[in-house]
């Protein structure tokens, strides 16, 4: 979508972090925004910030884990702005625990919030975008969906890997129909995600993808997403050097796995 001025976007998880920064960057490019978040006050605050700077936005409470969340969002977007062009499925929550200490109910929660939300969003918005033959979908995955550097967040990583697959398959299907798909794969970004992480193994160190990946500010990610929509870029890495790790892993899976076991990159030390 080279021309963004006058288009309309829904962004989930827009009250904080990457969703918030993308809402602000898209608004700056002339896109009207529905900022959807379970944090109603936060969503309203982002909308107010955009509205105070010549943009147009509306904040709405939305729990993406509920069955009718996206039908309701569809009603809101048509009521407020009369059209939909860009859908960013961005909500993600983290969990942390050894594979044998994470309850099945936590798998269910993470899949509901992180994965089934994307599927429900597609069920509502794909037919609309296909019918008009234009638009763009952005799905937020993670480095955790591309490669394995930790064992404490299996439901999160599995959901994010599924999002990569869904996004790529959708791109195959939708690009010939005039609709773009971007799979955003962030590395470490300074947001509030750790503050809402549920912890099931209190003595477990938290591993990161590697010391070469700086913790970046979310503001720059919003601009990257705008650029990806404009240029119809499919795979969007916040830290392009992740390609080196992907090549290393694909070249020798066993050696890559052994390296992670022998020299994990600890970002939070919890063991004594």
Ligand X SMILES: NC(=O)c1ccc[n+]([C@@H]2O[C@H](COP(=O)([O-])OP(=O)(O)OC[C@H]3O[C@@H](n4cnc5c(N)ncnc54)[C@H](O)[C@@H]3O)[C@@H](O)[C@H]2O)c1
With contact defined as beta carbons under 8 Å apart, do 20 and 32 qualify? no
The three-class DSSP label of residue 89 is strand
Q: What are phi and psi of 266, to 5 degrees?
A: -85, 125
Residue appearing with tokens 């830290």? 239
Q: Which residues are catalytic?
A: 156
Residue 58 tokens, joined: 């509306």
Q: Interface with ligand X includes 186 (CB under 6 A)?
A: yes
The only residue of 4, 8, 9, 15 in contact with ligand X, by rule CB under 6 A: 15
The three-class DSSP label of residue 58 is strand
Q: Interface with ligand X includes 13 (CB under 6 A)?
A: yes
The only residue of 7, 22, 25, 90 in contact with ligand X, by rule CB under 6 A: 90
How are beta strands 235-237 and 57-61 bridged, if at all? unpaired
Q: Interface with ligand X includes 12 (CB under 6 A)?
A: yes
With contacts defined by CB under 6 A, name the span among 173-181, 192-200, 246-254, 259-267 that binds ligand X: 192-200
Restricted to residues 33-72, the positions that interact with ligand X (CB under 6 A) are: 37-39, 42, 62-65
Q: Interface with ligand X includes 147 (CB under 6 A)?
A: no
Distance, C-alpha 202 to centroid of its chain: 26
The only residue of 27, 113, 204, 224 in contact with ligand X, by rule CB under 6 A: 113
With contacts defined by CB under 6 A, name the span among 52-60, 164-172, 181-189, 240-248 that binds ligand X: 181-189
With contact defined as beta carbons under 8 Å apart, do 97 and 106 qualify? yes
Closer residue to ligand X, CB minimum distance, 17 or 155: 17
Restricted to residues 17-36, the positions that interact with ligand X (CB under 6 A) are: 17-19
Identify how many contiguous H helices and E strands the chain contains and give both numbers.
9, 11
Angle, in degrees to the nearest 10, between helices 17-28 and 40-51: 20
Q: In the stretch 206-245, what mask flags binding to ligand X with x, by CB under 6 A?
A: ----------------------------------------
Beta-bridge partners for 57: 33
Region of residue 156 (phi > 0: left; psi between -120 and 50: alpha; otherwise: beta): alpha
Q: Interface with ligand X includes 138 (CB under 6 A)?
A: no
What is the arrangement of strands in the sheet containing 135-140, beginning at the earlier edge strand? 57-61, 32-37, 8-12, 86-89, 135-140, 179-185, 235-237
With contacts defined by CB under 6 A, name the span among 24-32, 175-183, 189-197, 247-255 that binds ligand X: 189-197
Nearest distance from residue 176's CB to ligand X, in Å? 27
Q: Interface with ligand X includes 91 (CB under 6 A)?
A: yes
Closer residue to ligand X, CB minimum distance, 19 or 97: 19
Residue 245 tokens, joined: 């790790």
Nearest distance from residue 93's CB to ligand X, in Å? 5
Binding-site ranges for ligand X (CB under 6 A) = 12-13, 15-19, 37-39, 42, 62-65, 90-93, 113, 140, 142, 186, 188-189, 191-193, 196
């Amino acid at each position: 979508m080279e021309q963004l001025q006058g288009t309309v976007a829904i962004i989930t998880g827009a009250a904080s972090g990457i969703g918030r920064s993308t809402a602000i960057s898209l608004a700056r490019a002339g896109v009207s925004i529905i900022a959807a978040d379970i944090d109603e006050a936060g969503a309203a605050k982002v909308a107010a910030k955009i509205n105070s700077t010549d943009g147009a936005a509306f904040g709405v409470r939305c729990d993406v884990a509920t069955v009718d969340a996206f039908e309701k969002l569809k009603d809101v977007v048509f009521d407020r702005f009369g059209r939909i062009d860009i859908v960013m499925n961005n909500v993600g929550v983290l969990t942390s625990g050894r594979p044998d200490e994470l309850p099945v109910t936590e798998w269910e929660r993470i899949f509901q919030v992180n994965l089934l939300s994307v599927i429900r969003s597609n069920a509502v918005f794909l037919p609309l975008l296909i019918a008009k033959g234009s638009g763009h979908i952005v799905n937020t995955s993670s480095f955790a969906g591309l490669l394995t550097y930790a064992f404490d967040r299996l439901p999160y990583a599995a959901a994010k890997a599924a999002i990569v697959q869904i996004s790529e398959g959708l791109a195959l299907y939708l690009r010939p129909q005039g609709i773009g798909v971007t799979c955003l794969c962030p590395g470490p970004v300074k947001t509030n995600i750790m503050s809402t992480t549920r912890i099931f193994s209190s003595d477990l160190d938290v591993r990161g993808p590697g010391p070469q990946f700086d913790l970046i500010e979310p503001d720059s990610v919003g601009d990257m997403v705008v650029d990806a929509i404009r240029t119809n870029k499919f795979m969007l890495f916040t830290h392009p050097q992740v390609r080196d790790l992907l090549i290393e892993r694909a070249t020798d899976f066993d050696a890559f796995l052994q390296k992670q076991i022998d020299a994990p990159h600890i970002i939070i030390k919890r063991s004594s």
